[in-house]
């Protein structure tokens, strides 16, 4: 039996968190015992336990961030030895075979694994653009001290520069979705909850409300679409992250300023992960409006698997996922007018929407299933334990 210790920095529910749950669910329980170390309790904990993982809450694990200033880095540095010691104790006590750090912003796993003399896998799920110093530090630690570096997209690997400069231990394993859950079907219940009439066209962005996700641009585009299609309605599906609750209020004010009162629905966190297949089935077009490069873009796969056409900004992970003009439309980032033109083009052409949606689902079935994702990580583990 191979015991894998996962290290994660949040107990909330986002794209990387959902992908962790899918990995835990998919790994063979006859081969692997799973432990997940988290800094606190939260909505992710029951999902991991239901997936068969044992969860260890270790408050000593601090989430590394460049947003909280120099004082935080000083506290992080002083706390670092204590956190590593706690992890080394856990590794030795549970006879852990592999340490798998599930985010670039966790510096504990690589040191704890070296001290305990077990292999370390560093899973990069982010593109670090906020801090050049932090990015260089994390990339260097992974290059020199990790046995394997897993990236979910070429855009993440490109933090190392051109492909010829990528570390030899770097492996690309894209995320995947359960195509038996995310599949075409009836979205009428969600449409009814949002007061969308039968036949009325619904365009949505699905994300947590963080400024870089480009919800402002989506609203600007929605206003242009609304002027061209007086019956279309819009939805912002997702709520604010902790500490940015005021951003949601600012978005609602902006929607009113744009004349979208009654045309755009802010759902907050009404829909949980289990309800997302029905959310995507309710849509006519899914929009990913990220202003900064999206590391992967899991929400695109979820929409595409339900045979929905997508409009996404042309940088980061979407460049891997979306075949422009075939399985979706790519538009320049920070360009609401280009986004609006792409949305209008789809709304005005039902046949193209249906054709693009069918091709989108086919692409997910070929390249991005949950089984392919789990098998890719499993192959890394087998190589390491061998």
Of the pLDDT bands very low, low, confident and very high (cuts 50, 70, 90), residue 17 is confident
Kindly indicate the confidence band of residue 321, based on its pLDDT and cuts at 50, 70 and 90. Answer: very high
* CATH number for region 2-176+369-385: 3.40.50.2000
Please report which confidence band the pLDDT of residue 84 belongs to, taking 50, 70 and 90 as the band edges. Answer: very high
Q: What is the pLDDT of residue 212?
A: 93
- Please tell me the predicted confidence (pLDDT) of residue 229: 82
The reply to whether 2-176+369-385 and 188-367 are identical in fold is yes
* Res 65: pLDDT: 64
Model pLDDT for residues 86-116, shown as the tens digit of each residue? 999 999 999 999 999 999 988 999 999 999 9
Interior angle at CA 281, CA 359 and CA 335, nearest 5? 70
Question: What is the reported pLDDT for 379?
Answer: 97
pLDDT score at 159? 94
Report pLDDT digits (tens) over 336-357.
Answer: 999 999 999 999 999 999 999 9
Give percent above pLDDT 90 in the chain: 78
Among 129-138, 244-253, 301-310, 353-362, the least confident range: 129-138
| Spatial contact of 207 and 288, defined as CB atoms under 8 Å apart | yes
Over 90: is that where the pLDDT of 57 sits? yes
pTM of the model: 0.91
Please report the pLDDT score of residue 66 as a whole number: 52
For the chain, the domains span 2-176+369-385, 188-367
Instruction: Report which of residues 358 and 242 the model is more confident about.
Output: 358
What's the pLDDT score for residue 42?
Answer: 84
Sheet with strand 170-172: strands edge to edge: 54-57, 32-38, 2-7, 98-101, 120-124, 148-151, 170-172
What kind of fold does domain 188-367 have according to CATH? Rossmann fold (3.40.50)
**Is residue 244 predicted with pLDDT exceeding 80?**
no
The percent of residues in the chain predicted with pLDDT above 70, rounded, is: 98
**Of 65-69, 202-206, 280-284, which gets the smallest average pLDDT?**
65-69
**How does residue 331 score in pLDDT terms, banded at 50, 70 and 90?**
very high
Q: Which residues pair with 177 in a beta bridge?
A: 369
Residue 184 to residues 188, 276, 282, 358: CA-CA distances in angstroms?
12, 12, 10, 9
Q: Are 12 and 47 in contact (CB under 8 A)?
A: no
Confidence tier at 16 by pLDDT (50, 70, 90) = confident
- Residue 68 has a pLDDT of 61
Q: Where are the alpha helices (DSSP H) in 204-284?
A: 215-228, 245-257, 276-282
In terms of Cα–Cα distance, which of 129, 175, 67 is closest to 292? 129
Mean pLDDT of the chain: 93
Q: Tokens at residue 237, please?
A: 């599906």
Write the CB contacts of 350 (distance below 8 Å, at least 6 apart in sequence): none
Distance separating alpha carbons of residues 100 and 85, to the nearest angstrom: 17
Q: Per-residue pLDDT averaged across 144-163, rounded?
A: 95
Q: If you ran DSSP here, which 8-state letter would residue 211 be given? A: G
At 74 the pLDDT is 82
* pLDDT tens digits, one per residue of 176-216: 999 999 999 999 999 999 999 999 999 999 999 999 999 99
Does the pLDDT at position 14 exceed 80? Answer: no
pLDDT attached to residue 105? 86
């Amino acid at each position: 039996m191979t015991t894998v210790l996962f290290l994660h920095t949040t107990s909330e529910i986002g794209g990387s968190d959902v992908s962790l749950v899918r990995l835990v669910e998919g790994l063979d329980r006859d081969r692997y015992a799973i432990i997940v170390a988290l800094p606190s309790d939260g909505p992710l904990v029951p999902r991991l336990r239901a997936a068969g993982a044992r969860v260890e809450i270790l408050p000593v694990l601090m989430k590394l961030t460049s947003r909280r200033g120099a004082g935080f880095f000083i506290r992080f540095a002083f706390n670092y030895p204590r956190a590593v010691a706690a992890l080394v104790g856990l590794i030795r006590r549970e006879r852990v075979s592999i340490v798998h750090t599930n985010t670039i912003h966790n510096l504990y796993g690589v040191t704890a694994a070296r001290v305990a003399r077990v292999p370390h896998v560093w899973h990069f799920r982010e593109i670090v653009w906020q801090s050049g110093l932090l990015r260089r530090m994390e990339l260097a630690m992974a290059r020199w001290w990790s046995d394997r570096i897993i990236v979910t997209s070429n855009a993440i690997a490109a933090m190392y520069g051109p492909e010829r400069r990528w570390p030899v231990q770097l492996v690309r394993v894209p995320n995947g979705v359960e195509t038996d859950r995310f599949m075409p079907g009836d979205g009428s219940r969600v449409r009814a909850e949002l007061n969308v009439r039968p036949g009325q066209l619904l365009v949505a962005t699905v994300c947590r409300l963080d400024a870089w996700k480009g919800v402002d641009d989506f609203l600007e585009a929605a206003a242009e679409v609304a002027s061209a299609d007086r019956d279309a309605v819009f939805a912002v599906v997702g709520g604010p992250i902790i500490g940015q609750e005021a951003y949601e209020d600012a978005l609602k004010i902006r929607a009113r300023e744009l004349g979208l009162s009654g045309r755009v629905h802010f759902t907050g966190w009404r829909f949980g992960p289990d309800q997302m297949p029905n959310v995507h089935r309710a849509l006519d077009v899914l929009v990913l409006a990220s202003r900064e490069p999206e590391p992967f873009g899991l929400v695109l796969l979820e929409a595409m698997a339900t045979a929905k056409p997508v409009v996404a900004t042309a940088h980061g992970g979407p460049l891997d996922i979306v075949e422009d003009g075939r399985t979706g439309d790519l538009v320049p980032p920070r360009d609401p007018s280009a986004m609006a033109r792409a949305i209008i083009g789809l709304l005005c052409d039902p046949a193209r929407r249906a054709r693009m949606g069918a091709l989108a689902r086919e692409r997910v079935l070929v390249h991005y299933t949950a089984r392919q994702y789990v098998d890719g990580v499993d192959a890394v583990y087998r190589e390491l334990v061998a």
